[in-house]
Chain A
Amino acid sequence: MAKAAKAAASEDPTPFVPLAPAPLHIVLALNRGERHGYGIIKEVEYLSDGVIKMGPGSLYGSIKKLVAQGLIEESDVRPDPALDDERRKYYRLTGLGRAVCAAELERLSNLVARTQRSAPARLIGGTA
């Protein structure tokens, strides 16, 4: 934990990677812009092609952890109350969160590239 706190201070994403599936999807969802709880749930569903359907408890459990790690923060910006429910809290990525997101995306694309290079074609949807 102390290591993570030091990393957060220096904005080094290494100790946070890889993220668990739920926090990873939340970070990816917030990488596309600020969102409130329900907005994150829907974005995660969209990104995971409907495979990950979060409930409120899992969502805010992960949000609590991500806020504590300094990867996301509550946004001060509020939409017009006429357009949105003012009780909703919006979250956004911090600088460290963006760095972790970039590191995760790089890790995942490397994983896919290596798998495609080393695995037989039939295992990755080929015809051989």
Chain B
Amino acid sequence: MAAERRTDARVDRACTNYRRVLIAYPRTFREEFGDDLVQAFRDLLLMSGERGVWWRTVRDLFASAPREHVAAMREGKRPSPWLLALVLVLLIPAVLTGGFLPEVYLMIGCLLVLPIIGINRLHRAFVVRRTTGGAILGLVAVGIACFVPGAALLVWVGPDRGWVIGAMVVLALIVGSVLGIVGGVAALIRARKSGERTPRQALVGAGVAVVVIGGLISAAYISYRNSQPPTGDHSVANASAETRALWVAADTGDVETVKRLAATCADPWVQFPTPDGKHDAHGAADSRLLDLPDDQEPPYAEIMKILGPAKESWYDRCGASAAEK
């Protein structure tokens, strides 16, 4: 009897979790068949002895949910913003990195998706307050737990965490902006068709999104422009002995030599060939920084701090004399 009760409780819990997973389907499909889906899942659990049911159901979900979304769109239903966000979160990194890299999606999962779920849980616990004391504690515990993998990942990443956080913020801004623009345009089209006024919130959201996207594009352009060499000859063939010595010092982590040569007209813009492509002195130190263990990184971090300003000031200090030569 006790074993039966335990099984019933487990099946009920599994069904509750499955009902949550149904969010992957379009709302109309959920409303029409949600109870039937859960009933079939319950029957599968009870009759098949629970073995392999979750695996079978999740595989089925991945196959059938996109199909139902396509069917819903063909019927003229609007796609859910969450679905659109998921597609963007999956596609944008793939486009930017040139493929589906598991480590990138691990970062996104830990630093973007889980924290959003965590914030949602905490919001429900403290703001919505539809639940009882015990359930609030549960929501708070889950909310806090959602931040743990991200924190652990940032500790593990070490000094590069700034770069990782920056990448996640940029991704979130891109996804949010695209959603805002799509939502605004959709609201505008709907309003045109129905003859009603366009909701102000949608227009403001789309406006903010356009500004954010514009800001991101400007920042990317400025960053690209700053990474381009100033006027002058920066070829390897004509590189001076001083320039070569600067590059070697940057590559070997010789801070003193870099400091000395960075004050002269050694050219930090010259790109020397390396086994993994071409790097200038700054790039050589950066590439070492990425490859080496934490305890060997400090000299390279310092070299990068010296060479950044040296690159920016090189044309003013030496460009004219280099052009004369």
Contacts and interface: CB of A to CB of B under 8 A. Distances in A.
A58 B43 contact: no
B64 A61 contact: yes
B29 interface: yes
Contact of B25 (A54, A57, A88): A57
Contacts of B29: 60-61, 64
A36 B116 CA distance: 38
Nearest to B39: A87
A33 B47 CA distance: 20
Nearest to B24: A57
A74 to B, nearest CB: 10
B56 interface: yes
Contacts of B59: 55
Nearest to B46: A38
A4 interface: no
A55 B39 contact: no
Contact of A57 (B32, B35, B68): B68
A38 B35 contact: no
A59 interface: yes
A55 B40 CA distance: 8
11 contacts: A37-B43, A38-B39, A38-B43, A56-B44, A56-B57, A57-B65, A58-B64, A59-B40, A60-B37, A63-B33, A87-B39
Contacts, number: 67
A60 B40 contact: yes
Interface string B25-45: 100010011011111110110
Interface string A65-89: 1000000000000000000010111
A56 B67 contact: no
B4 interface: no
Interface of B: 25, 29, 32-33, 35-41, 43-44, 47, 56-57, 59-61, 63-65, 67-68, 71
Contacts of B32: 64
Interface of A: 36-38, 41-42, 53-61, 63-65, 85, 87-89
A37 B40 contact: yes
A38 B42 CA distance: 9
Nearest to B38: A56
Nearest to B67: A61
Given A53-B56, A55-B59, A57-B68, A64 B43 contact: no
Contacts of A59: 40
Nearest to A37: B40
A42 B43 CA distance: 11
Nearest to B64: A57
A77 to B, nearest CB: 17
Contact of B36 (A58, A60, A65): A60
Closest 8 interchain pairs by CB? A55-B60, A38-B43, A57-B64, A37-B40, A56-B40, A60-B33, A56-B37, A58-B64
Given A57-B68, A60-B37, A61-B67, A41 B61 contact: no
Contacts of B25: 57
Contact of A37 (B39, B57, B60, B71): B39
A41 B44 contact: yes
A55 B57 CA distance: 5
Contacts of A63: 33
Given A37-B43, A38-B47, A64-B29, A57 B36 contact: no
Contacts of B40: 37-38, 41, 56, 59-60
Contacts of B41: 56
A128 to B, nearest CB: 40
A97 B43 CA distance: 26
